[in-house]
Amino acid sequence: MQLDDIKKIAVIGAGNMGHQIALNAAICGFKVICTDINPETLAKAKRFVDDYLPGRVTKGRLTTEQAAFARENIRFVGKLEDAVGDADYVIEAALEVLDIKRAIFADLDRLAPCHAILASNSSSIVSSKIADATRRQDKVLNVHFFNPALVMKLVEVVQGPHVSDETAQLSLQLCRKLNKEPVHLKKEVHGFLLNRIFGAIGREANWLHEMGVASIEDIDKACMHGAGHPMGPFRLNDLTGLDLSYTLHMEAFRESGNPADLPPPSLVEHYIKGEYGEKTGKGWYDYRESTKDS
């Protein structure tokens, strides 16, 4: 398969990452179908698209014709078979739980055309743990977008030992056509590239906070004004979701059995309270008062 042969893209999971990946592909000219098992999530994703595109026109980022073209390119459906039946490339953006992903990929292998590449947007679960749920292991890889997917340029294309060079190179080409800047990881490693770097920063930031060395505000300030980061690790965690961080910590612990992989106590406390960050109004920071003031 060549890049020009990729006409239709299916995105599995219509949550924040999934619907933004889908819309980005639609804006770039691909026919896209996004699916989710949750009707409310699908409805929310559709509302996002219907609000986002006119907003881009108002801001002068898209013409009326470009917005209409993108809207025509994207559909939301509730059945997996309707989404992937004629897809050339599939991107899974479901929960970060291995058993769930394996079940999805087994279904994708059964329902998608034999030429279709099956990519996982997982930020931590390597594709070699998923590929053997299919009969096309050479076409199963990680293609990891970053949040928010409509804005962030970086995409990590991870080539495990089972992935063919053709699949990896075609995925890199596709990312460029999606107006992204892909990086090629030639080996699988937990956390991939950027999250390993952020993970090291995050561990140190959490240790400094847990030990009472500095406040989360001052730790974030140090990273912003000293290291030039656009936002500090705690503010970034509020954006990406403390629930995701908790899940990733627990998945790592289940695999390794190493207590060092467990989430730090303060993260557990926020998770138990349902304080996941911006999306719940409170995480490391409290966003409820600023919402009232605006």
CA distance 79 to 167: 26
Q: Which of 128, 147, 164, 195 is catalytic?
A: 195
CA distances to 196, 229, 241 from 204, in Å: 13, 15, 19
Q: Which of 24, 122, 127, 156 is catalytic?
A: 156
- The list of the chain residues with pLDDT below 50 reads 294
Determine whether 71 is exposed, middle or buried from the number of CB atoms within 10 Å of its CB (0-12, 13-18, 19+): middle
Per-residue confidence (pLDDT) for residue 195, from 0 to 100: 85
DSSP for 52-67 reads HHHHHHHTTSS-HHHH
Per-residue confidence (pLDDT) for residue 251, from 0 to 100: 84
Active site residue 123: yes
Per-residue confidence (pLDDT) for residue 289, from 0 to 100: 76
In 211-284, where does DSSP find H-type helix? 216-225, 233-240, 242-256, 265-272
Sign of CA dihedral 266, 268, 274, 275: positive
Q: Which of 123, 124, 142, 245 is catalytic?
A: 123
Structural domains present in the chain: 3-185 (3.40.50.720), 195-284 (1.10.1040.10)
